[in-house]
Chains A and B, each alone.
Chain A
């Protein structure tokens, strides 16, 4: 039973991967513009994510190393620094977007501009990391994150044409504006598969002291956790498809429009529930990103690290997340539109994906690390497919941003 609670590591990772501003925004846009047609992108992204997250957990259990450890060990300091620099830049941008998401949630709840909320939000996130332990953060975020199940409830209340929803799970060509369609598909994949999730999840497995008896739990956690996030993303697409087009909205231009997504199903409470979901899940994602940044830095340079230890014990580790939060809050406090920051950071994520995914092909087949728990041929074939997919994403993102965004 206690082991079953470990699934919260999957849920909390999933909150960072799906329910943050990126997925909420891109899913809402997809539903508004193309109805159910882009559900396949969420399904594909979720499938890829399950595979990669399971592998990062398996790597940590089998080798007692994290993915960042593995990259530095296996590929040396130069390649590590390349990956480290790129991923750090992306992390900071996404972190800014998440702080913006929390601040927006508070703006919807209180009426005060998100700009004024940026600093208090950043401070609260930092305080929780400074004083809290991994367990409290993980269990807290995954318990509170369950509020986002209200999207699924709302979807059921709306009673969508399930047959058409199911058809959306299969890829199809758009009947209009192909480049915009492709842009949103790419954004969804970029918002779903994020490199920092692997660094976070593998570090989480070490923090939670998963031993060799956890291979099964890891598989269940990765699958159910990511499926949880995927289901919510699908629910947002379905809701958006049923809410916006009848009201003449095909292009989401502001977060205010997304905020009304629950009102047709849940009434006036909808806006509060949406704001709370946005606030909590973005806050969880912000914690996860700050920690992921501290993990990858400490592990790559060989520092001691643990979120459970006091800042005094590992000052370098604690100061990394502190500095990350301080930098990331600047654009939001300066009043940059969080939705723009989000869309931009999703595109940058897509460009950086190959760097985070290619190491899996080597690490998961290296017996020096994983022993007998190497990938089978199916696992390797899937990783190769994902690497191909991430290369396509990385190459098409910029042109699509220009022509379709």
Chain B
């Protein structure tokens, strides 16, 4: 498996094949022998923003760490065309944000909750 090619920026889906975001970042950790291990995948616009700042040469403005939601690698069930994760959708940031939208925005729009 090639982390950047096969994991980074890939579509995340839950067990029901609902799209739950993308792999916005990958968190590596050094083990006791100094070898890098994949710790988690990171989700969230702050991670995307950090990559963008580094990409355009403004590393000084970028935060030390991504600040996004970290999904521990052990929850990654399958790396295929999409990446399947075995967590409840409601725990992930995208669905939480959508839940907020339902409660605070959609309820004011006719037909929003029907």
Q: How far is the CB of A371 from chain B (nearest CB, A)?
A: 11
Partner of A304, one of B19, B48, B114: B19
- A147 an interface residue at 8 Å Cβ cutoff? no
- B94 an interface residue at 8 Å Cβ cutoff? yes
Known contacts: A305-B19, A315-B101. The answer to whether A76 contacts B9 by CB under 8 A is yes
Q: Looking at chain A's contact residues, is the secondary structure mostly helix, strand, loop, or mixed?
A: helix
| B114 contact set on A, CB distance < 8 A | 310, 312
Known contacts: A72-B9, A78-B52. The answer to whether A315 contacts B22 by CB under 8 A is no
Interface residues of A, Cβ cutoff 8 Å to B: 63-64, 69, 72-73, 76-78, 80-81, 130-131, 301-305, 310-312, 314-316, 319, 322
Closest chain B residue, CB of each to CB of A369 = B81
Interface residues of B, Cβ cutoff 8 Å to A: 8-12, 18-22, 24, 45, 48, 51-52, 55-56, 81, 94, 97-98, 101-102, 105-106, 109, 111-114
Closest chain B residue, CB of each to CB of A76 = B9
Is B52 a contact of A81 with CB atoms below 8 Å? yes
Is A311 a contact of B106 with CB atoms below 8 Å? yes
Partner of B102, one of A76, A78, A81, A315: A315
Is B98 a contact of A77 with CB atoms below 8 Å? no
Partner of B22, one of A72, A314, A319: A72
| A63 contact set on B, CB distance < 8 A | 81
Q: How far is the CB of B108 from chain A (nearest CB, A)?
A: 12
| A302 contact set on B, CB distance < 8 A | 11-12, 19-22, 94
Closest chain A residue, CB of each to CB of B100 = A315
Is B102 a contact of A312 with CB atoms below 8 Å? yes
Closest chain A residue, CB of each to CB of B103 = A315
Partner of B10, one of A64, A73, A78, A314: A73
Partner of A77, one of B20, B52, B111: B52
Known contacts: A311-B106, A315-B105. The answer to whether A130 contacts B21 by CB under 8 A is no
Is A77 a contact of B19 with CB atoms below 8 Å? no
| B101 contact set on A, CB distance < 8 A | 315-316, 319
Q: How far is the CB of A75 from chain B (nearest CB, A)?
A: 8
Q: How far is the CB of A310 from chain B (nearest CB, A)?
A: 7
| A304 contact set on B, CB distance < 8 A | 18-20
Is B12 a contact of A312 with CB atoms below 8 Å? no
Is B9 a contact of A311 with CB atoms below 8 Å? no
The contact sample of 15 A-B pairs, CB cut-off 8 A, is: A72-B22, A73-B11, A77-B24, A77-B52, A78-B52, A302-B21, A304-B18, A304-B19, A304-B20, A311-B111, A312-B106, A315-B101, A315-B106, A316-B101, A322-B109
Is A73 a contact of B9 with CB atoms below 8 Å? yes
Is A303 a contact of B48 with CB atoms below 8 Å? no
| B20 contact set on A, CB distance < 8 A | 302, 304
Is A78 a contact of B111 with CB atoms below 8 Å? no
Is B113 a contact of A312 with CB atoms below 8 Å? yes
